[in-house]
Every structure is written in structure tokens, then in C-alpha cells.
Amino acid sequence: MHITVLYFAQAATLCEAKSERFELKTAAPRLLDAVQHVMDAHPSLKRLESSLQWAVDESIVGLESPLRDGATVAVMPPFSGG
């Protein structure tokens, strides 16, 4: 199963990418599986881990949410501004 991961703001800087495609080999993947995969691929994100928000197909969801093939996962650090 493949997902596309989008990185925003500081996450994009730390990952040196705006997006990537990953293959998840879990039988019934959840967002938590994708989070673990992204964190393993980009250890530099660990310093933001507690403040990151994750979205699937443009909706903020819990880590136990199931993923579908072709899902888009967004990695969003805290945003500031007004």
C-alpha cells in the first residue's frame, strides 16, 4: 500500500522535502504506522514530535485511524502568524 506524505513549514525544512511517497507493508495500516515510518525515515523530526499534527486526506484524525491505499498524510508543525 502506498501513501503520499506532505511536509509543511519546519517539517519540510527538516526533511529537506515537500513530499514523499512511502510504501507501508502493514496488513491494516493506521496513521500510527505512517507516523512511525516517517519518524524512522527522518530522525530530525523527533525534536518536533510532541508538537506535530497529522492529517489524512485533509482531515485531522487520531493515530488509530485507518489508512487507504493512495491516502495523503500531512505533517504539520505548529504555525504562527496572524
Whole-number pLDDT of residue 70: 97
**In which band, very low, low, confident or very high, does the pLDDT at 81 lie, cut at 50, 70 and 90?**
low
Cβ 80 vs Cβ 10: under 8 Å = no
**CB half-sphere exposure, 39, CA atoms < 13 A:** 13
Domains of the chain, CATH where assigned: 2-76 (3.10.20.30)
Beta carbons within 10 angstroms of residue 50's beta carbon: 6
When pLDDT is averaged across residues 53-82 and rounded to a whole number, the result is 92
Give residue 50's pLDDT: 92
How many residues in total does the chain contain? 82
Q: Return mean pLDDT, the chain.
A: 94
Is the model's pLDDT at 78 over the cut of 90? no
- pLDDT (tens digit, 9 = 90+) per residue, 6-46? 999 999 999 999 999 999 998 899 999 999 999 999 999 99
